[in-house]
Amino acid sequence: MTEHKYMSTVLNKFDLPLEIKLAVPKEATFDKIILDQTVQQIDLKLKEYDELFSVENKDSLLSRFQDGEETALMISQTFRDVYEQTITAEQMTQHYFSSYYNGKYDPVGLLNGWIIDQIFNQYLVKLLSVDGIDGVSLRCGEDVRLASRPDIDFNWRIAIKDPNNLDILLATYFLQNGAVSTSNEIHSLRRESSNIEQVTVVTNSALDAKIWSSAGISSGTSKFPEFIERYHLTGMIVDKSLGIENFRDGFMDKVALK
């Protein structure tokens, strides 16, 4: 079995660290100029997103949209794409995932997953065609998207920690391709009474994983199992009363939460 080393580069995204990680066979080398060029391109794209969606910049399209100026939907395809994604997410989750806070539109809860997918698909996937790179990963906080070369047996290791004690490991996912999001914060104005402390969702895109992990927290122990079954979700729940509850492709490993 091939042993790998990991190379990491961290960029700033909306004042949060965005980590690019490559899995490289220990004895292999590759042209690092390609990586440097890719990082430069990603950095420029992040600055573009920041100019669109920064809430600190009062001249950003998001700030102007929050002030009632709707031209953002007409002049920016990117802004319109994100806005449409937030509407879809709210409808799909029955508004347990929301992008409105204090009466203002703020897609921060969705942007993490959306940006990860955009950058991953546009810049990182193609690095798998470079000799000497076996895997690529992009992480921001508890949201991660990853992929491996299709012709090798390499898996990324994703650790899920206890929300009350980060020194405790609850589970480990070994994935060749996909996305994982773990949420323990509410991204919705709507919240049900619940014993759920943390939700992890494993799926194909960081956007979907982010939406459902967040919706799982706000929808609670009575409603979230319905979403799990309807949308064939995979992941795990940390519940104060029942402990760890795993689900895979829409099926719970125990009795349904109540």
- CATH of residue 209's domain is 3.10.520.10
Q: At what angle do helices 77-92 and 108-119 cross, to 10 degrees?
A: 120
* 164 or 145, which is more confident: 145
In a domain, 258, yes or no: no
In a domain, 125, yes or no: yes
In a domain, 112, yes or no: yes
Would you say 41 and 123 are in contact if contact means Cβ atoms under 8 Å apart?
yes
Instruction: Note the pLDDT of residue 192.
Output: 66
Query: Position of tokens 């950003």?
Result: 60
DSSP string across 47-74: HHHHHHH-SS-TTSHHHHHHTT-TTHHH
In a domain, 96, yes or no: yes
- Structure letter (DSSP) for residue 209: H
Task: Report the percent of the chain where pLDDT is more than 70.
Answer: 95
pLDDT tens for 106-115 read 998 899 999 9
Query: Position of tokens 């049900």?
Result: 192
Average of pLDDT values for 122-148? 96
- Structure letter (DSSP) for residue 127: G
Whether pLDDT at 191 is above 70: no
Q: What share of the chain is helix, strand, coil (3-state, %, to 5)?
A: 35, 30, 30
Average of pLDDT values for 61-87? 95
Torsions phi, psi for 46 (to 5 deg) = -65, -40
Number of domains in the chain: 1
Instruction: Note the pLDDT of residue 246.
Output: 95
In a domain, 102, yes or no: yes
pLDDT tier at 199, thresholds 50, 70, 90: very high
Q: How far apart are CA 93 and CA 2, in angstroms?
A: 42
Would you say 191 and 218 are in contact if contact means Cβ atoms under 8 Å apart?
yes
* 247 or 193, which is more confident: 247
In a domain, 32, yes or no: yes
In a domain, 111, yes or no: yes
Instruction: Note the pLDDT of residue 101.
Output: 78
In a domain, 257, yes or no: no
pLDDT tens for 165-180 read 989 999 999 999 999 9
Whether pLDDT at 30 is above 60: yes
Domain that holds residue 233: 4-252
Whether pLDDT at 145 is above 70: yes
Query: Position of tokens 């929300």?
Result: 163
